[in-house]
Structure 1
Amino acid sequence: MQVKALILISLGFLAVVRAAEEHPATEVKRCSGNKPFPLEVRVHGCKTPPCNIVKGSTQNFEIDFAVDKYITEMTTLVKATTLGIITVPYELPADVAAVCPNLMYGAYCPVYPTEDVTYLFSFPIGEYPEIGVKIEIYLVDQDKEVATCFVCDIKVVKGNGGNTVYQLDYLNRK
């Protein structure tokens, strides 16, 4: 039994190391008010903010964090600040906001004190103007207390416009 547990822990560790190699840590900032800060955040495709985020797409964030209490459920809350003065809540669909079903590497809720987990947040980016935005991402527990929080600067950019390149193959025509 102990050998099986050791093997599972080793496999989990290898998966975390592999993920870190594929997606290096992103430089994020602390939220105000001494809220718990994640162990590490990886915004796929971005190491140094502002992160270019394609409007109309989904941006993946991997958030490694530890908790200091027994947590049975968590929800993601996002606030967006534009022009440095306008802050609004960013509404998320319930399945996107739910943290527990999106924990990685075999983790699940409840989460126990001192346990560290990785959460895959698939952030839907709407069809917004191409501007810089400061986003604050909060993971809030069943008691509405912040389990972890960070700030990341993003820039909403236009994608390739859906242009598809077609290659004509004249040699294999019939």
Structure 2
Amino acid sequence: MLRIVLALAFLAAAVNSTNVKQCKGKPFPLTVRVQDCEEPPCIVYKGTTVIMEVQFLGNNNNIQNITAKTTAKVLGMNLPYDLPEEVSNVCTNLMYGAMCPIDKGEDVTYQFNFYVEPSFPEITADVTVTLDDAQGEVITCFICSCKLRKGTAATKEEYLLDWRDNQSELKA
């Protein structure tokens, strides 16, 4: 019975996952879910935050620190994209009550909030996301193709409303 429940849970996770590519010679995550995207290229809007959930396994025992790094392949060039500390620190963005240290084989999910700069050109880019331990060893890596587009007025209004609602909650 337990096997059936686990198989159904795995199948449900796989159905909702985004079809990302594996980095050559690097460990692949269990699943990646890009909000509102099952099949890349994912449409992302400039000036917004793309939310990704990366489910992966620990590769060593007692992993104290994990850092997310990103690059974007544009016109054949790999361009680094520096993430702010509050995003690149994987341990502070683990979901479902998980926390560092992580042990080998431990199944955890990282919420990766990727801000798309308004100054980016409207192009398609292959975004590589790598999670590294403190020694620089890759824990997991994937590539997601993204089409960068100008945000619509409706999209901007939706985020503005969300921001106003959050500000009201903070004052209360």
What is the 5 A alignment of 1:1-174?
20=13, 24-32=16-24, 34-70=25-61, 71-83=63-75, 85-127=76-118, 128-161=120-153
Provide the C-alpha distance between the structure 1 equivalents of 2:17 and 2:157, rounded to a whole number of angstroms: 32
Provide the C-alpha distance between the structure 2 equivalents of 1:56 and 1:50, rounded to a whole number of angstroms: 18
Runs of 4+ deviating beyond 2 Å: 161-165
Provide the C-alpha distance between the structure 2 equivalents of 1:90 and 1:107, rounded to a whole number of angstroms: 26
Provide the C-alpha distance between the structure 2 equivalents of 1:143 and 1:26, rounded to a whole number of angstroms: 29
- Give TM-score, length-normalised by structure 2: 0.80
RMSD: 2.2
Q: CA deviation at 1:20?
A: 4.4
SS at match of 2:22: coil
CA 1:164 to 1:67, structure 2 compared with 1: closer, same or farther past 3 Å? Answer: closer
Q: CA deviation at 1:50?
A: 0.1
SS at match of 2:86: helix
Pick the structure with more helix per residue: 2
Provide the C-alpha distance between the structure 2 equivalents of 1:35 and 1:101, rounded to a whole number of angstroms: 23
Task: Tell me, yes or no, if the aligned pair for 2:124 and 2:147 is still in contact at 8 Å.
Answer: yes
SS at match of 1:101: helix
Provide the C-alpha distance between the structure 2 equivalents of 1:148 and 1:20, rounded to a whole number of angstroms: 18
Provide the C-alpha distance between the structure 1 equivalents of 2:149 and 2:45, rounded to a whole number of angstroms: 5
Provide the C-alpha distance between the structure 1 equivalents of 2:112 and 2:13, rounded to a whole number of angstroms: 16
Q: Please name the residue that 2:163 is paired with.
A: none
Aligned sequence identity (%): 43
Larger Rg over CA atoms: 1
Where do 5+ consecutive residues of structure 2 fail to align?
1-5, 159-172
Q: CA deviation at 1:164?
A: 5.2
Task: Tell me, yes or no, if the aligned pair for 2:70 and 2:82 is still in contact at 8 Å.
Answer: yes
Q: CA deviation at 1:147?
A: 0.4
